[in-house]
Amino acid sequence: MDMRLFEYVLEIYKTKSFTKAANQLHIAQPSLSKQVAKLEQELGVSLFSRKPGSPVQATPDGLVFVKKAEKILQMRHDLKREMLERKEGIRGELKIGSTAITGGLILPPLLKTYKQQYPNVKVELIEESTETLIDLTARGVVDVSILSLPIEDSRLHTKTMFTEPLYLVLPQNLSVKEKQHPLSIQDFAHCPFILLKKGYGFRRTVLELCARDGFEPQIAYETSSIETAQALVGHGLGITIDRS
């Protein structure tokens, strides 16, 4: 089956007209109609419903064909691009944004793999707070940012990379009474909390967890470093929540 036929069918589906599709494809309309009719005869189904004076509509069989054709053409595009990249190599610059905390945990293995595949790309790391990176990414100053969800900005598209467990970090001298049910963050609502400063997405995650359990944490200290938060906990100055 000629790959051009997929393009013809998709253009007819998009324009809902053989005439408009022929103009876009730079071929004669009778030739386009003839080739599509020949394709329909080969397949044994009608791809389009043709009614004089009405827009051309895809039949149920035509819709199935359109969806498959889109995938096939995308695969062809991806294959050609990959072969070109292998031949010429990808060059340019990629700006990746992350907070210092997230970047330290996630970026090193990702960057190692990326540099192995695309050694000619210059990667620049942008470390800022979550709020700043959301704005920089939305304005195109940063190409992509790795941040904690949720991200509520209509200018951005998000994709979940992975999820991870969260742990309640307690000082050794904190007395934990035995309970019949598993301990939850609510059992420590009376304790002073050590949180990241405003502007960090992980701070919002912690506050939402507390709100879900029906309380607002008593914030004793705020820091921009999770290592500092852990050290404060180690000296019995409060509790915190960490990723590891």
Q: How far is CA 186 from CA 26, 119, 140, 210, in A?
A: 68, 49, 41, 7
Average per-residue pLDDT for the chain: 87
pLDDT at 92 over 80: no
Phi, psi dihedral angles at 7 (to 5 degrees)? -65, -40
Note the Cα 56 to chain centre separation in Å: 36
pLDDT for 122 equals: 87
| Tokens encoding 212 | 């879900």
Q: Work out the average pLDDT over 10-17.
A: 93
The CA angle 147-151-156, to the nearest 5 degrees, is: 95
Quote the DSSP letter at residue 48.
E
d(CA 131, CA 141): 14
Contact 41, 101 (CB under 8 A): no
Residue 52, pLDDT > 90, answer: no
DSSP, collapsed to helix, strand or coil, labels residue 63 as helix
Work out the average pLDDT over 212-239: 91
Q: Does pLDDT of 237 surpass 90?
A: yes
Among residues of the chain, what percentage have pLDDT more than 70?
94
